[in-house]
Amino acid sequence: MSKITELFRVPKISYRVSKVWMRNKDVFMKTYKTNFLPSLLEPILYLVALGLGLGGFVEAIDGQPYINFIAPALVAVSMMYSSFYECTYATFVRMYFQKTFDAIIATPITIEEVITGEILWGATKSLINSSIVLGVIVAAGLVSSPLFLLILPVSFLVGLLFSAMGMCFTAISPNIDAFNYPGFLYITPMLLLSGTFFPLASMPEVLQIVTQIFFPLANAVTVTRALALGNIQMSILFNIAWMLIITPIFFVLAINLMKKRLIK
Amino acid sequence: MSQDVLVKAEKLTKKFNGLVAVDSIDFEIFKGESFGFLGPNGAGKTTTMKMVQSISPLTGGTLTLAGMDVTEQGRKIKAIVGVAPQEDNLDPDFTVLQNLMVYARYFDISKEKAKTKAEELIRFMQLEEKRDVIITSLSGGMRRRLILARALMNEPQILILDEPTTGLDPQARHLIWTKIRNLQKQGVTVILTTHYMDEAAQLCDRLIIMDHGKIIEKGRPADLVRAHVGEEVLEVLFSEEAMHCLKQYFPDARIDVVGDKIQVFANKPRGVLAKVLDKVSFKGALIRDSNLEDVFLKLAGRSLKD
Ligand SMILES: Nc1ncnc2c1ncn2[C@@H]1O[C@H](COP(=O)(O)OP(=O)(O)O)[C@@H](O)[C@H]1O
Ligand SMILES: [Mg+2]
């Protein structure tokens, strides 16, 4: 029992998380030119292949051409990928191979602050990468509502959620190859089944509910699509509320699991 | 002369699951001295250092730095301690200067102050030519010097050096030793771990010898050597006759066989051993100064390199 409560103990953190965040930002700024091009090209490829190519064989969905339907989903997918991978592979490299966290906790910064800084950075990556994709689909004329600007704060929330989830895996991964498991068994099914490439509504109702509970991407896609297309329904409040509820749970769990792993 | 106690450990203990890594040790480190932890790999040196720097919780006992309890005042302790860890954890994405600047930021040091300090330390550690080079291209010795520079960024009251020269070539080692001596002259309190007896003898005012998590001896290097093994050792190539002969000449001495050598610890004043060699000639006879390794061998009955 006490072990469980330990895993959910709310950590004390200070402004020092910003220093961890800044370290990652400084590294990012050194290489952003090489990072930028793939982030730009990938969504364009998807839009061409799926939107124009596949879309030619697909009927309009809810009155939207297929390419307009998937475009916002691609923005949500980039939120998931950028933050989840930042806080799994990239964090693991810093923690395990570079011993960066060992270096930082020898200074007045605590492990809780290191992990929080990492998660905030993962959320920032979500904001950056999804903004690029968003820029592409706006430029392509695939966004029909000025509400799309609200996608930016949503991307930070979604990024926090996936960063925290990724960090939980990182805390329990024996080695870097172990990330193939959450990748293949969780992230890939989530990518395919979250209402990304076909509407959630085409699945049985039970499955729709299960999907929205266990696949945060489904919530992210629904909200992002609603904001991009200006098609707001009350139900998106539930999507946002659900993300707001589970994010802090994973956040606290991630910090305590990491602390358990690193403080010996 | 009364001295300020800067670090005080009582019954300090650390267990990892079943394994007792540090076994109820006591020590005191005074302000301004250089204090060594000498011992073979696995003795518990690094584990002790991690508790001193307040990054590893104690299993038992108490430990204070500058009057602050490591368990309660971790943040304040880490602010006054500089650490050059055994494992290289420099930031491979940054240059030499950036490594120092980013590290200074963790201590809340202002950018201007950090810049001045970093430039000063780059000069002190003779890294000027590598100032703007990504650190992955640095040699082992340079990386060690950079780690040392980084440990000094916060102008620490206590400098912890965990195996500062392990794995370096002799030249690089001597350069690091020179830098450490410089710091000692400036009055920095240095805590150093090593499994090199020459390093301990050269750099430490006082030291403790650790083995299997326990302190097996403590004191000044020269005193320890004198007390345990005398000033000189006679080494002779092993043969039955030589052994027999030596036992007659030195009935009270400790005589060990190490490899193919007989070692005679006569614990006699300097010069006595040489007189014996005038009378008898032994194959491969050699008189050398005794050292801490001999002390360790005597106390633990095995080599420091084991
Ligand atoms: N995180 C850890 N988990 C389990 N055992 C450890 C850990 N760190 C050190 N040890 C063990 O504690 C003992 C002392 O190790 P250490 O302090 O690193 O020795 P030294 O620095 O003197 O070589 C060794 O037996 C080592 O294997
Ligand atoms: Mg060690």
Residue A71, φ and ψ in degrees, nearest 5: -55, -50
Residue, of B266 and B70, whose pLDDT is higher: B70
**pLDDT band at B306, cuts 50/70/90?**
low
Ligand 1 atom, smallest distance to B86 CA: 21
Do B215 and B235 share a structural domain?
no
B133 touches B92 (CB < 8 A): no
Q: Does A23 touch chain B (CB under 8 A)?
A: yes
Facing A264 at nearest CB: one of B16, B78, B103: B16
Facing B91 at nearest CB: one of A16, A100, A109: A100
B185 touches B27 (CB < 8 A): no
Rounded CA gap, A80 and B237, in Å? 72
Record: contact B87-A102, CB cut-off 8 A? yes
**pLDDT band at B259, cuts 50/70/90?**
confident
pLDDT of residue A139: 94
Facing A263 at nearest CB: one of B57, B79, B106: B57
Residue ID of nearest Cα to ligand 1 atom 8: B47
pLDDT of residue B205: 96
Ligand 1 atom, smallest distance to B213 CA: 14
Q: In sequence order, what are the beta bridge partners of A64?
A: A61
Residue B226 lies in a domain: no
pLDDT of residue A83: 97
Range scoring the smallest mean pLDDT among A40-44, A152-156, B61-65, B84-88 = A40-44
Do B203 and B159 share a structural domain?
yes
Do B208 and B63 share a structural domain?
yes
Q: Does A99 touch chain B (CB under 8 A)?
A: yes
**What integer is the mean pLDDT of B227-244?**
87
* CB within 8 Å of A244: residues ≥ 6 apart: A157
| Shortest alpha-carbon distance between residue A19 and chain B (Å) | 6
Q: Which ligand is nearest to the CA of B45?
A: 1
Q: What percentage of chain B has pLDDT greater than the value 70?
A: 98
Rounded CA gap, B67 and A234, in Å? 60
Task: Find the closest chain B residue to A27 by CA distance.
Answer: B93
| Shortest alpha-carbon distance between residue B75 and chain A (Å) | 5
Q: Which ligand is nearest to the CA of B57?
A: 1
Do B252 and B211 share a structural domain?
no
Do B65 and B204 share a structural domain?
yes
pLDDT of residue A32: 82
Domain that includes residue B147, residue range: 5-219
pLDDT of residue A56: 84
**pLDDT band at B299, cuts 50/70/90?**
confident
Do B168 and B77 share a structural domain?
yes
Tokens, residue B201:
């003898």
Residue ID of nearest Cα to ligand 1 atom 16: B44
Q: Is-above-0.90 flag for pTM?
A: yes
Task: Find the closest chain A residue to B147 by CA distance.
Answer: A103
In the 3-class helix/strand/coil scheme, how is chain B assigned residue by residue? CCCCEEEEEEEEEEEECCEEEEEEEEEEEECCCEEEEECCCCCCHHHHHHHHCCCCCCCEEEEEECCEECCCCHHHHHHHEEEECCCCCCCCCCEHHHHHHHHHHHCCCCHHHHHHHHHHHHHHCCCHHHCCCEHHHCCHHHHHHHHHHHHCCCCCCEEEEECCCCCCCHHHHHHHHHHHHHHHHCCCEEEEEECCHHHHHHHCCEEEEEECCEEEEEECHHHHHHHHHCCEEEEEECCHHHHHHHHHHCCCCEEEEECCEEEEECCCCCCHHHHHHHHCCCCCCEEEECCHHHHHHHHHCCCCCC
Residue B266 has pLDDT above 90, yes or no: no
Residue B301 lies in a domain: no
Residue B176 lies in a domain: yes
Burial of B261 (0-12, 13-18, 19+ CB in 10 A): middle
| Weakly modelled stretches of chain A, pLDDT under 70 | 1-2
* Cβ burial A144-156 (10 Å sphere, 16+ → b, else e): eeeebebbeebbb
Which of residues B190, B219, B248 is at a domain's end?
B219
Do B251 and B136 share a structural domain?
no
- Around ligand 1, the residues with Cβ closer than 6 Å are A 264; B 16, 19, 21, 39, 41-47
Facing A102 at nearest CB: one of B75, B85, B98: B85
Record: contact A264-B93, CB cut-off 8 A? no
Give the number of other CB atoms < 10 A from CB of residue B251: 7
Q: What is the average pLDDT score of chain B?
A: 92
- pLDDT tens-digit series, residues B139-153: 999 999 999 999 999
Do B135 and B56 share a structural domain?
yes
Domain count for chain B, please give it: 2
Residue B299 lies in a domain: no
- pLDDT tens-digit series, residues B25-52: 999 999 999 999 999 999 999 999 999 9
Q: How far is the CA of B144 from the centre of ligand 2 (A)?
A: 15
Do B64 and B210 share a structural domain?
yes
Q: Does A109 touch chain B (CB under 8 A)?
A: yes
Q: Does A158 touch chain B (CB under 8 A)?
A: no
Do B149 and B113 share a structural domain?
yes
Rounded CA gap, A17 and A6, in Å? 22
Do B260 and B114 share a structural domain?
no
Residue B149 lies in a domain: yes
Residue B253 has pLDDT above 90, yes or no: no
Which of residues B194, B219, B244 is at a domain's end?
B219
Do B116 and B145 share a structural domain?
yes
Residue B186 has pLDDT above 50, yes or no: yes
Q: Residue B182: give its domain's CATH number.
A: 3.40.50.300
Which of residues B219, B245, B275 is at a domain's end?
B219
Beta strands at B19-30 and B60-65: parallel, antiparallel or unpaired:
unpaired
Residue ID of nearest Cα to ligand 1 atom 6: B16
Q: Residue B257: give its domain's CATH number.
A: 3.30.70.260
pLDDT of residue B1: 44
Give the number of other CB atoms < 10 A from CB of residue A60: 11
Give the number of other CB atoms < 10 A from CB of residue B72: 11
Residue B296 lies in a domain: no
Residue B137 lies in a domain: yes
